Structure 1
Amino acid sequence: MAHTLVEFVRSIQTNLDNGVIVPINATSKLILEFGVNVPTATNFIELITTVGWQATNVFVTPPEQPKLLLQIVLDGVVVSSAEQKSISTDEDGMLEMTTAFHSILTNVSVGFHVIQVFASNPEDLQGDITLTGPVSITGKVYAPA
């Protein structure tokens, strides 16, 4: 069945590497947010999230390393998430990474919805995470043609 793009939305802190400095700890922090209108009951929403980050002061002792946890929340409910651990062999070194992931939500109820992205470092005692950029999310709502 063919689908048509009926809504496009986005939230952007920066498109640039080293465009922001946002420290992340164990407490979830809101980093991106937008509203989206869903006009039909049969639909899907495609979300693409990209977050550039640095890990510093990393303890090289296994098994735990700092890790970036990203959660996408639709109207207060977690609907998608991604987690990426830092990998470092030098406590004094800095590790730069980009986490990108794709999410698909199907048959979201008709109406206006709030989509938020939260970031946290559940292993913040093992090292520091700072968002540096790019930091963005795009959303596309598709309905049957």
Structure 2
Amino acid sequence: MAQTLVEYARSFHSNLSTGVLMIPVPSTATLILEFGMAVPAAPSNYVELTTTVGWEVTNVFATPPDQPKLLLEVLVDGILVGSAQQSSISNDEDEPLRMTTMFQTILNDLPEGYYPVQVFATNLEDLQGDIILRGPILITGKVIAPV
């Protein structure tokens, strides 16, 4: 069965990996991205969400395995539908450690409607060091349905 892109939406702070943007990530869930997306009435539709977040670790207080840990959560209409968790990797240097976390979330057969999409970030090990979002920071959403 042929499929077509019927809706596209996105939210971003920066496309650059070394931009001037600096968003600190606390130990409580913090909203970093959001947008709305319409899903038309169509059988066998699916929604593909792609989340990319560039981050750096500073002020590391301990040695491995105790490192800052980033949790990213994607909510659609207030319901958790995807997440990724990544620990930083110690490089034993004074320079900030830069990392990028990217993941996809696929939803099948959503009912027709308008859906808010939100991304939250949390530093799960904030006593081990600081996490700062630097970029890229973005999420894209596509609705695919049969022709």
Common topology (TM > 0.5): yes
Q: Check if 1:118 corresponds to 2:120.
A: yes
- TM-score normalised by structure 1 residue count: 0.94
SS at match of 1:140: strand
Q: Where does residue 25 of structure 2 map in the other structure? A: 24
Normalising by structure 2, we get a TM-score of 0.93
| Cα distance in 1, alignment partners of residues 12 and 81 from structure 2 | 20
Aligned residue pairs total: 145
Distance in 1 separating the partners of 2:33 and 2:91: 31
Q: Which residue is 2:36 aligned to?
A: 35
Give how far 1:5 is off. 0.5
- Identify the residue that residue 134 of structure 1 maps to in structure 2: 136
* Contact kept? 1:11, 1:138, Cα under 8 Å: yes
How far residue 41 of structure 1 moved from its aligned partner, in angstroms, is 4.4
Give the counterpart letter for 1:8 in structure 2.
Y
* Uncovered stretches (5+) of structure 2, i.e. residues with no partner: none
CA contact under 8 A between 2:7 and 2:142: conserved in structure 1? yes
Gaps spanning 5+ residues in structure 1: where? none
SS in 2 for 1:120: strand
In 2, distance between residues paired with 1:7 and 1:102? Answer: 17
